[in-house]
């Protein structure tokens, strides 16, 4: 089916009203178009607030006589895709808790990017975030390298200045032991 691609922009609007009577199909198309534009604007706002840019985000406008508008996510760099996957997994837990009418057990509303330093509160260890395991726990790796360990996201906080100093000290010690001071 031939489609016209429209980039995401706030200037998208329904065409100016005409004096001709509108058919039921035209009214349905207008409602579907408005729904698609709202969904597109909501997605743009959500991704921007998460610090993500989806450069190919847009909407496909169907050929005349059809009403199936499609929001196109487009292509993104691997780092953006990985960050989006982390945010979606966290969001799934929140939505599932809300739908179950249970209080949300998620105590944080942030997601580190791969490589960000965080502090495992229970283990009192600093590690860099490396993704999720199959159980949805965050995988942290020691700053100087080594095996990652899983941790419940609710037991992790963002690394502060002292955590960053600990990480830098661990890296310096590891380099010194390996004979690569610097």
**Comparison of pLDDT for 126 and 85, the residue scoring more:** 126
**Comparison of pLDDT for 128 and 177, the residue scoring more:** 128
Supply the pLDDT for residue 48. 81
Distance CA(158)–CA(8), nearest Å, equals 33
Supply the pLDDT for residue 11. 47
Supply the pLDDT for residue 180. 61
Supply the pLDDT for residue 20. 67
Q: What is the DSSP string of 74-142?
A: ----HHHHHHHHHHHHHHHHHHHHHHTTS---------PPTT-EEEETTTTEEEEEEEE-TTSPEEEE-
Distance CA(143)–CA(120), nearest Å, equals 13
pTM: 0.41
pLDDT tens, residue by residue, 97-120: 667 754 444 445 577 889 999 999
User: Which residue in the block uniquely carries the two structure tokens 């032991």?
Assistant: 177
> May I ask the CATH architecture of the domain 79-177?
Roll (2.30)
Residue 126 · residue 119 · CB < 8 Å? yes
Mean pLDDT value across the chain: 77
- Is pLDDT above 50 for 1? no
Q: What percent of the chain has pLDDT over 70?
A: 73
Domain ranges of the chain: 3-75, 79-177
pLDDT tens, residue by residue, 13-37: 455 555 566 676 666 667 777 787 8
Binned at pLDDT 50, 70 and 90, residue 52 comes out as confident
Distance CA(38)–CA(70), nearest Å, equals 12
Mean pLDDT of 139-154: 92
CB atoms within 10 A of CB 125: 17
Supply the pLDDT for residue 28. 62
């Amino acid at each position: 089916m031939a489609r016209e691609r429209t980039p995401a922009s706030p200037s998208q609007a329904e065409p100016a009203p005409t004096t001709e009577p509108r058919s039921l199909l035209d009214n349905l198309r207008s409602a579907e178009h408005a729904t698609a534009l709202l969904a597109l604007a909501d997605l743009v706002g959500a991704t921007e607030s998460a610090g993500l840019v989806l450069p190919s985000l847009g909407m496909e406008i169907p050929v005349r006589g059809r009403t199936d508008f499609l929001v196109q996510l487009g292509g993104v760099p691997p780092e953006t895709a990985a960050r989006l996957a982390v945010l979606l997994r966290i969001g799934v837990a929140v939505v599932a808790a809300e739908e179950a009418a249970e209080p949300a057990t998620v105590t944080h509303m942030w997601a580190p990017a791969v490589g960000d330093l965080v502090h495992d509160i229970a283990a009192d260890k600093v590690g860099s975030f490396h993704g999720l395991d199959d159980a949805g726990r965050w995988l942290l790796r020691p700053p100087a390298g080594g095996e990652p360990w899983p941790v419940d996201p609710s037991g992790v906080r963002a690394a502060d200045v002292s955590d960053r100093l600990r990480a830098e000290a661990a890296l310096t010690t590891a380099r010194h032991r390996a004979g690569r001071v610097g």
